[in-house]
Structure 1
Amino acid sequence: MRIVEPQGFPAGTRPGARADRGLVAPFLSAAALAACCLCLPSRAMAHVKWFAPFDVAEPPMPISAVLSGRFPLVFAGFALLMAAGFLLDRLAAASPRGGALARRGGEEVEERLLRAGLGAFFVALFTAGGAILTPELKTDAAWPAWLQLGIAASMFSPRTCVLGAAGILALYGYGAALYGAFHLADYPVFLGLAAYMALTSCGTGRPRRLRMPILQASLCASLMWAAVEKWAYPQWTFPLLEERPWLLFGVLPSDFMVVAGFVEFAFAFHMLTGFALSRVGILALGAIFGLAILDFGKLDAIGHLPILATMAAMFVHGPTPLQRRLHEIRRGLLAEAHRAGLAFAAAVCVFVSAYYGLQRAEHGGGHRPEARGGRVAVATAAAPASR
């Protein structure tokens, strides 16, 4: 009997059991996806800094306050969900359909998707003017717009993509100089895109094979960082929730933000560590971002275009070598599911610690505008006035 790669199950698995799993796994994955799409707070995925006032120098909610209430219970629930998701992924990987989902896609298609998406994004920034990389990163300087047009032009050929990568890094550095490293830590995906485009100009070989793992890690890091923001600064989103009370489903806004943060973090974790169902997670999260665009409009569409293009490329590419290695480990399923839950919990702790640590390192953990030479005023004024 031919065994579908990768062999995520221990040797000696009964063929009958494998066939049963092949029948059951697709239905389980479809049911899980349907449940997620029905329950997720889709419009909470919009980047709050683009639509409401904020101040990154404002001290975040104390850790003790974050960990109070229902946070520990939701944390434990999502850790168990990630462990169960790992088991489901293994079941899907053992089925013929799951094996098809895990096959690698075409690099040429993914590259063209990214180049086209980035080209369109930087043309939109050039046309709008006044933005560095994202809507809230404002500038009065004229040169970023012309650099953005140059980056868009560099996407026409793989050989010139390295010039676009240099331009993206220049804009990122300029944004960090104006707004601070803590603010720009929201967007490591741009660093991943710059690395992808630089490696695209390297011809063939191992450097090009590193493009997607780097880009995928940078996108997941961006989503995880944004998830922590929902816990550290929930008050930034409260005005939007007041305008859209139907999103709460009768839940308190504070509890809603806890769940919304875990939803985003869980999706990012799954896209980084999943295997056979990683494309299902990408598709579901892409649908959520699409629903957010319907609510928030053109600004949200342009701002999220690099993320959507990256997710489209990830969908085409399929699992990376890192994901394959994670799921080729021959250990007991329950032991591996336990490890997956612990890894999710550890990732949450690492990102929360990094978020609070960087905010304190740059802003002192307190609100002292006089010590920052005007950066607070720039960051606060960057967001549009509350609607």
Structure 2
Amino acid sequence: MNALQKSNGPITMSAGLAILAGLSIPETASAHVKWFAPYIVGARPEPLSVTLHDIWFWVGIVLVLIFFVATRLIEKSGFGQVAIEGLNAATAPLWDRQDDYIRAIIASFFVAIFAVGGVYLTPDLKTPAEWVSWMQLLIACCVFSRGTMPIAGVGIIALWLLALRDYDLFHLFDYLALGLGVAGYLLLEPLKNESLRERRFEALRWGLAIALMWSSLEKFAFPSWFYPLVIEKPFLTFGMPRDVFIPMAGVTEFTLGFGLLWTPLIRRLSAMALLVIFTAAVWPFGRVDLIGHGLIMAILIAVAADRRSGVDLMTAFKQKIVNIPLGLSATLVIFCTAYWGLHIAFYGIDGDLQIGEDAKTTHSYNPEHPHGPGIQGEIGAPSDK
């Protein structure tokens, strides 16, 4: 703490709050469970009432609200501008070439996915179709010219639609918002209409925020999916019981995703906290996590460097401290209603009762997915023939 205090006071105090908010709650917030453990999307989720009666869920909410309120108080005070100027100075080289940076990281991500091969857009959407990998390399090539960037954007949407052949729509909702955010950037950046073009970074940020909030709900709806990871890597829980660790990890991901949509200092520090957590997950989860989350981590760096001082929607509402808990509560209600409601609409109140031994999972036995051999219904699993 003394080392922090010796540098730029208000800046480091804000950064410390961000890191405390992110790291006081478990790091599994950054690991997408579907990449590392078997799952069945149509299984019956835990009732929402279980989460609402969990004291650790509310402890996590209170911790992050303290971070948001403290950061907003700093932002409104005389120290707020000093903190913003400090962040601006630290990220100036990136800000000066932000479009070049974003285009480079999008292209790098698709080159990495091409190199991995056999997946649509993300590690758990497996496909035996070799042409899909080449399509992703083509997307990477199209990113570098403003004339072909729209082709790359349309290609991302097309790949998501093609994945519907093999995967349930509810499953693919996990990747819809981020895909649309990246595609939106690629479609908006070449425009000559500056009023539309300037929205390109908002498209990225909103897509990422919605994706993080949506995927975080798995930790409340399907906590049992995370049990193999907790057993396999017990150090992740920092000695906490798994049923304390998992809901607080979900709170971290949801609330910091929400923070990306708030006032400038809150969203920049939320991005920094998320970046620390995602980066820390690379060592225990390895190459799959780095490739799968590389684009997210790179966008978080761009959000942390974003100097825009405005708020894109409901500016007056977001500037009032009292509206932070109101906004978070409303967002939780909207997302939880959508998640549980759509799951019931797709699979029924008791889940998909037809699920049996032929249900599709993602993982076969190998060093990166060590939870057991794949079943016959697994996409890309070897055939008995």
Task: Flag whether TM exceeds 0.5 (same fold).
Answer: yes
**1:247 and 1:92, CA in 2 relative to 1: closer, same or farther beyond 3 A?**
farther
TM-superposed CA distance for 1:320, in Å, is: 6.2
Greater share of helix: 1
- Match of residue 46 from structure 2: 61
* Aligned 8 A contact 1:195 1:211 in 2: yes
**1:321 and 1:98, CA in 2 relative to 1: closer, same or farther beyond 3 A?**
closer
- Match of residue 226 from structure 2: 237
Q: Give unmatched runs, 5+ long, in structure 1.
A: 1-22, 331-335
- Match of residue 295 from structure 1: 284
* Aligned 8 A contact 2:29 2:253 in 1: no
- Match of residue 208 from structure 1: 197
TM-superposed CA distance for 1:137, in Å, is: 0.2
**1:201 and 1:80, CA in 2 relative to 1: closer, same or farther beyond 3 A?**
closer
- Match of residue 116 from structure 2: 128
RCO (CA 8 Å, sep 6+): is it higher in 1 or 2? 1
* Aligned 8 A contact 2:174 2:211 in 1: yes
Q: Is the partner of 1:203 in helix, strand or coil?
A: coil
- Match of residue 344 from structure 2: 360
1:377 to 350, 359, 371: 359
- Match of residue 58 from structure 2: 73
Q: TM-score, normalised by structure 1?
A: 0.83
2:82 to 75, 79, 96: 96
- Match of residue 172 from structure 2: 184
- Match of residue 143 from structure 1: 131
* Aligned 8 A contact 1:102 1:275 in 2: no
**1:354 and 1:382, CA in 2 relative to 1: closer, same or farther beyond 3 A?**
farther
Q: Give unmatched runs, 5+ long, in structure 2.
A: 1-7, 373-385
TM-superposed CA distance for 1:277, in Å, is: 4.3
Alignment of 1:1-387 (within 5 A): 25-26=10-11, 28-36=13-21, 38-71=23-56, 73-74=58-59, 77-78=62-63, 80-81=65-66, 82-91=68-77, 94-99=80-85, 101=87, 109-187=97-175, 188-319=177-308, 321-322=310-311, 326=315, 336-368=320-352, 370=354, 377-378=359-360, 380-381=361-362, 384=369, 386=371
* Aligned 8 A contact 1:269 1:344 in 2: yes
**1:71 and 1:277, CA in 2 relative to 1: closer, same or farther beyond 3 A?**
closer
* Aligned 8 A contact 1:230 1:257 in 2: yes
* Aligned 8 A contact 2:98 2:302 in 1: yes
For residues 359 and 155 of structure 2, the distance between their equivalents in structure 1, rounded to whole angstroms, comes to: 26
TM-superposed CA distance for 1:193, in Å, is: 0.2
Percent of residue pairs bearing the same amino acid type: 32
**1:101 and 1:328, CA in 2 relative to 1: closer, same or farther beyond 3 A?**
farther
In the TM superposition, structure 1's runs of 4+ consecutive aligned residues that sit over 6 Å from their partners are 102-108, 327-330
**1:313 and 1:204, CA in 2 relative to 1: closer, same or farther beyond 3 A?**
farther
For residues 15 and 290 of structure 2, the distance between their equivalents in structure 1, rounded to whole angstroms, comes to: 27
**1:32 and 1:107, CA in 2 relative to 1: closer, same or farther beyond 3 A?**
closer
Q: Is the partner of 1:138 in helix, strand or coil?
A: coil
**1:92 and 1:127, CA in 2 relative to 1: closer, same or farther beyond 3 A?**
farther
* Aligned 8 A contact 1:225 1:351 in 2: yes
288-297 or 271-280: bigger deviation:
271-280
For residues 16 and 69 of structure 2, the distance between their equivalents in structure 1, rounded to whole angstroms, comes to: 17
**1:107 and 1:278, CA in 2 relative to 1: closer, same or farther beyond 3 A?**
same
For residues 288 and 350 of structure 1, the distance between their equivalents in structure 2, rounded to whole angstroms, comes to: 25
How many residues are matched?
357
* Aligned 8 A contact 1:92 1:98 in 2: no
TM-superposed CA distance for 1:363, in Å, is: 1.6
* Aligned 8 A contact 2:18 2:272 in 1: no
Q: Is the partner of 1:52 in helix, strand or coil?
A: coil
Amino acid in the other structure paired with 1:282: A
Give the aligned CA root-mean-square deviation in angstroms: 2.9
For residues 213 and 341 of structure 2, the distance between their equivalents in structure 1, rounded to whole angstroms, comes to: 15
- Match of residue 379 from structure 2: none
Amino acid in the other structure paired with 1:261: G
**1:320 and 1:359, CA in 2 relative to 1: closer, same or farther beyond 3 A?**
farther
For residues 286 and 92 of structure 1, the distance between their equivalents in structure 2, rounded to whole angstroms, comes to: 27
For residues 329 and 164 of structure 1, the distance between their equivalents in structure 2, rounded to whole angstroms, comes to: 34
**1:140 and 1:108, CA in 2 relative to 1: closer, same or farther beyond 3 A?**
farther
- Match of residue 17 from structure 1: none
**1:142 and 1:286, CA in 2 relative to 1: closer, same or farther beyond 3 A?**
same
* Aligned 8 A contact 1:45 1:292 in 2: yes
TM-superposed CA distance for 1:83, in Å, is: 3.4
360-369 or 180-189: bigger deviation:
360-369
Q: Is the partner of 2:209 in helix, strand or coil?
A: helix
TM-superposed CA distance for 1:210, in Å, is: 1.2
Spell out, residue by residue over 1:52-73, the C-alpha distance to the aligned partner (whole angstroms, 9 max, x if none): 0011000110122222231563
TM-superposed CA distance for 1:163, in Å, is: 0.5
